[in-house]
Amino acid sequence: MRFTLNGKVVNVRAHPMKRLLDVLREDCHLTGTKEGCGEGECGACTVLVNGAAVTSCLVPVGQVRGARVTTIEGLKRHRALQEAFVSEGGAQCGICTPGMIMTASTLGPSPSLDEIRSALAGNLCRCTGYGGIYRAVQRAGKKKHGGRL
Amino acid sequence: MTAPRALRIVGKSVPRKDGLAKVTGLAAYIDDLTYPGLLYGTTIRSTIPCGEIASIHLDFDTTGFTIVDVRDIPGRNVVALIDDDQPCLVEREVRHYAEPILLLAHEDRERLLEARAKTRIEYRPATPVFDPERSPKVFKRLAIDKGSLDEGFALADVVVEGEYRVPHQEQLYIEPNGMLAIPAENGVTVHGSLQCPYYVQRALRVVLGLPAHRVRVVQVETGGGFGGKEEYPSMLACHAALLALKARRPVKMVYDRIEDLEATTKRHPGVIRHRTGVTRDGRLAAMDIDVLLDGGAYATLSAVVLSRGVLHATGPYRCDHVRVRGRVVMTHTPPNGAFRGFGAPQTQFAVEVQMDRIAETLGLDPVTLRERNALRAGDTTATGQRLGRDTSALRVLREAVRRTDFRRRRRALAGTNRGLGLSLFFHGAGFTGAGEVKLASKATLELVERGVRVRVASAEIGQGSRTVHAQIVAETLGLPYDAVEIAQADTDQVPDSGPTVASRTAMVVGGLLQRCAAEMKTRLAGLTPRQYLKAHGPLSVTKEYRKPPEIEWDEEAYRGDAYGTYGWACDVAEVELDPDTCEVRPVRVTAVAELGRVLHPVMARGQIEGGTLQAVGYALVEQVVMRDGRMANAQLANYLIPTTRDTPAIDVVLLERPYRHGPFGAKGVGELPMDGPAPAIANALRHLGFDVREIPATPERLMELTRKGKGL
């Protein structure tokens, strides 16, 4: 199975029905992508496939043949977002954080609170009450785009 | 009061110690660890709630499998905690659904799943008891008496009675429980997702029959706990260790979400009855309170949960004549256990809804009734504890009322589909009663080249313990924050600082570290760590918990200082009702909390926001459906927790009034925010005309109330 993982072409020997989540964690040794529920409800396993946020526990690896897959380990150009998750309290226990950041990275410049809430509605967090996450995403947007919120 | 000297690090939102690893995906959780020769373990569980095992059939080729049953336990077959009544593996008698019976391990997970499906257990079922009112067994009774109920009710003009019901709630840490056990020479090492390394070590010692130095427990990065990883990990660690010792290979056991929901602990459901005598001008003359908690099949921590429950049952109110009776009983359901708040959310839900019903009965507004009765400095609680200057019930109430313009807003909303309600509450910080003395926690500070290393058994579970401990130490020693490193919570490396529970990690363990740092500063006598080490050699300082002399607790009589101090808070909740569907949207919660000293504003706010939302879930959406003793909705698809779309705006107001025995004045914060939102929301629904006495206030339940003519 060939696909592009974090910018590099990889060739993985795996059953096409194996969950992308397991392929990433076990075959590719990238454990930054987490499993919270195994049924696509919590969003902890979110990765980008061709730029779109998907829950990798619901994706058979056969479906990403030839696609671009990005995980938290390969997230580039979003340092401001990651830093803001630290400074604004967007990460507490951290288990939802990689998935949360992957989804947040798909937001356009200077998203409104409503846009943030809609985008992140499939990512559960049990620690923060989401407030720190909203502030992190807003702050990152502000930094990147000259103070417009 | 003299002005405190300026603080450099405490009170500042320094970067969390674990922040960078968590946002880059590098932080290693239990399921991220692997070892050469690793086997995967799984648990065969009971499929009936009550009865006996008749026979066990393994309808698969067992070659290559490691199989453990009760006969493989070298020590005692109990999960050691308080009563030691819970077996590690069922021998014969089944007391609840999903009780562990057999353990299997194999290197191939597919084979393991097949084997699990082909393991058949036959039972002789017996009749289960699910209704706590009919339980044949009481795990614990507690009684608090103050004054005389007869005298109190004689002074009362009005008596208000009420019965309140609170449900199970799942902690729902996003990372399920998991452990990895590695056989070691004459012993075992267990890595895991857990809150209490020394609880796990003790349980392993008892089950394996090993001395402490042969059992090593290492906490790895833990994806949330909320109490759910307080006692349950002891069970799972024993299972993983039994498999690993038998297989002589490392064994990892990580639950999937379904198993975690079906088998592990939940918040105790309860029925709380109030009979309150009040004078016409709104003074509480007598409070008669009965607390019944459903402990599930085994005692686990139920006695202590009940304790915290009854100690908070009066709410933060003064009353001269009080009787509280509490009991926690057995039912044939999976054991209930620790969950943030630990009994106090249950009992304070009841008293705070009761207060609004009293206000309604007297024609008073909810604020006035609470102002008349809120505890003040110098008052005594139901156990006779005389409260100190850091008693902020009135202060948080007035601040919340002012911030929300409560009375005017409430009038303005009358007749709309929005309601406004409030709750006033408190939460004892640290272990109950003499608990801290019994724990005798220790903390160690060690000098290293770059600065100091903190050695404590406190588990970082997201709450920020590493960060606040480092702040306290750096501030006290006059070192930069970055010069403080935190050792992993590993029983080979850290002393027993007690469990990571009870809002005690910043206040109690932080206090020990402050004392360690103060002594180290004296010993350094102005030298840098490097200079000292060169001149004098290694230096480490250990301090043990010292009870403040004025704290006195009589466990027999249940009298005295139940807690060293309390956090105080007031929540105001505004909700919006969809009149067609009876769906409730929480619009805004204003949470005003007094925490002694705010050590880290961003993290303190995060604790309040997170706890508030968890309690909004408790109030409105989280519902464990128990069917024949089994959780029928053991999936995230139908056990719902609040998403970003269900979350109200949460305004957090942090007030300070330093506690003299807390580090820099800090009190505990973790649990406090769990206690208030449910009654505030129920009272907001009461404002809308719904007589809510049971949560969650689901649309179905509200429609029932509407039909009964109590709603809109």
- What CATH number is given to the structural domain containing A23? 3.10.20.30
pLDDT at A146: 39
Asked which of A74, A94, A120 is the last residue of a domain, the reply is: A74
Question: B21 contacts in A (CB within 8 Å)?
Answer: 94
**How many Cβ atoms are within 10 Å of B162's Cβ, its own excluded?**
17
Q: Does B557 touch chain A (CB under 8 A)?
A: no
Q: Does B571 touch chain A (CB under 8 A)?
A: no
Alpha-carbon span B83 to B61, nearest angstrom = 39
A83 and A51: one domain? no
Q: What is the mean pLDDT of residues B684-710?
A: 92
Alpha-carbon span A144 to A109, nearest angstrom = 8
Residue A34 to chain B, least CA–CA distance (Å): 8
Q: Does A101 touch chain B (CB under 8 A)?
A: yes
pLDDT at A143: 66
Alpha-carbon span A28 to A25, nearest angstrom = 6
Mutation target to probe the A interface, by most A beta carbons within 10 A, among B174, B500, B671 is B174
A111 and A132: one domain? yes
A133 and A83: one domain? yes
Q: What is the mean pLDDT of residues A92-105?
A: 98
Question: Which residue spans of chain B are classified as CATH 3.30.365.10?
Answer: 19-28+441-544, 270-433+558-707
Has domain B36-127+181-248 been given CATH number 3.90.1170.50? yes
A84 and A24: one domain? no
Q: What is the pLDDT of residues A11-21, one digit of tens each?
A: 999 999 999 99
pLDDT at B711: 64
Asked which of A13, A41, A74 is the last residue of a domain, the reply is: A74
Q: Which candidate from A42, A97, A129 shows the least CB-CB separation from B23?
A: A97
pLDDT at A77: 86
Sequence-distant (6+) residues with CB within 8 A of B663 are B472, B506, B507, B510, B511, B513, B514, B597, B599
Residue B307 in this model has a pLDDT that exceeds 90: yes
A61 and A99: one domain? no
Q: Does A86 touch chain B (CB under 8 A)?
A: yes
Mapping DSSP to helix (H, G, I), strand (E, B) and coil, where does residue B411 land? helix
- In CATH, what is the architecture of B19-28+441-544? 2-Layer Sandwich (3.30)
**How many Cβ atoms are within 10 Å of B156's Cβ, its own excluded?**
18
A131 and A114: one domain? yes
CATH of B270-433+558-707, one of 3.30.365.10, 3.40.50.300, 3.90.1410.10, 3.40.50.720: 3.30.365.10
Cis amide prior to B696 (ω within 30 degrees): yes
- The three state secondary structure string of chain A is CEEEECCEEEECCCCCCCEHHHHHHHHCCCCCCCCCCCCCCCCCCEEEECCEEEEHHHCEHHHHCCCEEECHHHCCCCHHHHHHHHHCCCCCCCCCHHHHHHHHCCCCCCCCHHHHHHHHHHCCCCCCCCHHHHHHHHHHHHHHCCCCC
pLDDT at B243: 98
Question: A36 contacts in B (CB within 8 Å)?
Answer: 174-176, 223, 257, 636
Query: Residue A45 belongs to what domain range?
Result: 2-74
A93 and A68: one domain? no
Residue A149 lies in a domain: no
Which of B107, B89, B108, B113 has its CA nearest to residue B99?
A: B89
Please report, for the domain that includes residue A105, its CATH number.
Answer: 1.10.150.120
Alpha helices in B427-580 (DSSP H): 435-439, 465-477, 510-524, 529-536
Residue B4 in this model has a pLDDT that exceeds 80: no
Which chain A residue's Cα is nearest to B340? A127
Residue A48 lies in a domain: yes
Residue B283 to chain A, least CA–CA distance (Å): 37
What DSSP state is assigned to residue B269? Answer: P
Residue B347 in this model has a pLDDT that exceeds 60: yes
Q: What is the pLDDT of residues B402-425, one digit of tens each?
A: 999 999 999 999 999 999 999 999
Q: Does A27 touch chain B (CB under 8 A)?
A: no
Q: Does B193 touch chain A (CB under 8 A)?
A: no
pLDDT at B710: 62
- The tokens describing B561, both together, are 């200082």
**ipTM strictly over 0.90?**
yes
Q: In what order do the strands lie in the sheet with B270-278?
A: B138-146, B322-330, B284-296, B270-278, B158-166
Flag if A93 and B461 touch (Cβ within 8 Å): yes
A126 and A99: one domain? yes
Residue A35 lies in a domain: yes
A6 and A70: one domain? yes
Q: What is the mean pLDDT of residues B577-586?
A: 96
Widest Cα–Cα separation across chain B: 81
Which of A75, A42, A120, A140 has its CA nearest to residue B223?
A: A42
Residue B694 in this model has a pLDDT that exceeds 70: yes
Q: How far is CA A62 from CA A47, B108, B366, B553, in A?
A: 16, 21, 61, 65
Mutation target to probe the A interface, by most A beta carbons within 10 A, among B22, B169, B481, B505 is B22
A45 and A83: one domain? no
List, as ranges, residues 161-180 from B with C-beta within 8 Å of A.
171-176
Asked which of A74, A94, A111 is the last residue of a domain, the reply is: A74
Flag if B635 and A37 touch (Cβ within 8 Å): yes
Backbone angles phi, psi at B331, to 5 degrees: -135, 165
Q: Does B643 touch chain A (CB under 8 A)?
A: yes
pLDDT at B1: 42
* Residues of chain A above pLDDT 90, percent: 91
- Cβ-Cβ pairs closer than 8 A, A with B, add up to 163
Which of B181, B214, B191, B355 has its CA nearest to residue B282?
A: B355
Q: Does B430 touch chain A (CB under 8 A)?
A: no
Q: Does B25 touch chain A (CB under 8 A)?
A: yes
As for how many domains chain A has, the answer is: 2
A92 and A40: one domain? no
A69 and A85: one domain? no
